[in-house]
Amino acid sequence: MSRLRGYLSTTRSVVCIPRPRRIDEFRNPLEFLNGIHDAVEAHGIHFMSTGNIHGNITTHTVCIGAPSGDPTRKGFLIDSPVFNPLFQSANILSQNTIPTRKSLPQDYIDDLESFYYIIAWVSMAYKAPGKIIPTKRFPRVLACWAAEPDTREAALNKETLLRSDGFDCRVPGTALFDVPGLPACVIFEALLGLIHLVLRHLYAEKWANWDVRTQTYTGKLASPKKVYATILDYLRRAAYAMSTSVEPAPGMEAHGEDGEGGEMWWDKLFTET
């Protein structure tokens, strides 16, 4: 699958008022969430129209701003020759560090997993915009990834995280997350929990339908359009909760059901595009 086609290059000057910033140069948590939302939305539009993925989603390639200067758009994607294994998916990291192990073709879900790690990194490692907490205070899993992001252990750790219940650590209630009337860490924890449910289901689904002999998927996979719509909805709900200082509900509970007769939310991902 092709990647990186159609994205702005870091080797070119991007005209933007104000000049775009890296996603980890956000001014406040709401700006960060809006930037991630717009970048995911742009990624989905590009993938659905071209079939091309990005393949290098990191804090260097997700930017805040807009090439057109449109004040309503907060985030977009650029290309970069630099790869950061800290944000690579379990599948891609496994290909690079455990070459003898079975792996899956790279696709858009690997990029969405990278967005997930960016959200986790910023919400757990930053105490304020542009300020990272001391390394010794990192949650254990982030400390391991930050110290050795391109190792076999990191790949296996990410795979275990995807197959299990996600991060087993809490988002710290630091200065970054002080929102009047509601700790923003509650919002980020709910958001991470919901995105993890999506990724866990998609990860298991791909492995269950992958035929090693023919190197093809033999079963029905989730609709990419519905996957993007689901994640974008969660990001919008999180941003709304952040902007209004209300509990991230309804729909932000990380319980895996949509509340309609017990139907699991992912059942809707298999329907028509």
Tens digits of residue pLDDT in 30-46:
889 999 999 999 999 99
Share of the chain above pLDDT 70, in %: 74
Of 19-28, 166-175, 190-199, give the lowest mean pLDDT range: 166-175
Asked if the model's pLDDT at residue 179 lies above 60, the reply is no
pLDDT band (50, 70, 90) for residue 19:
low
- 183/120: higher pLDDT: 120
HSE-up (13 A, CA, CB side) for residue 156: 6
162-186 in b/e form (b: 16+ CB < 10 A) is beeebbeeebbebebbebeebbbbb
Yes or no: say if 264 and 256 are a contact pair by the CB < 8 Å rule: yes
Mean pLDDT for all residues in the chain: 79
Per-residue pLDDT at 92 exceeds 50: yes
**230: pLDDT strictly greater than 60:** yes
